[in-house]
Amino acid sequence: MPQPSVQLPVLDVRGHPRRWLDLAWEEAKVGLEYDGEEGHAGRQNLRSDRRRHNFLQDDDWAMFYATDLDVYRDFTHLMRKVGAAIERRTQ
């Protein structure tokens, strides 16, 4: 699997950075976001997360979202899924 970019800016139609992805495989348009408890709790954060998701989906990004359990207990499975998406999108 290729190395991801870290904190990759995703540009809007005017070329302005609109969102930043925690990890991104730009050629395949596959992204991985880590959802920690602190940064994603509450109604306002939920709204922001949904806007982000919709923006990325409209821009044809395949997104994966990970929690602490995904990273620390099931990392291999998570990365297999990400790797499969990268492979499908670059064939």
* pLDDT value of position 32: 97
Exposure string for 19-38, b = 16+ CB within 10 A, e = fewer: bebbbbbeebbbbbbeeeee
As given in the structure block, the two tokens for residue 22 are: 């925690």
Reported in sequence order, the residue ranges of the chain that DSSP labels E, i.e. its strands, are: 5-11, 17-25, 30-34, 62-66
Q: What's the pLDDT tens digit per position in 28-57?
A: 999 999 987 665 567 887 788 888 889 999
Range 53-81 average pLDDT? 94
The chain-wide mean pLDDT, for the chain, equals: 91
Q: Is the pLDDT of residue 82 over 80?
A: yes
Separation of alpha carbons 56 and 58, rounded Å: 5
Task: Give the helix/strand (H/E) hosting 44.
Answer: helix 43-58
Q: Is the pLDDT of residue 67 over 60?
A: yes
Query: Domains (ranges, CATH) in the chain?
Result: 5-90 (3.40.960)
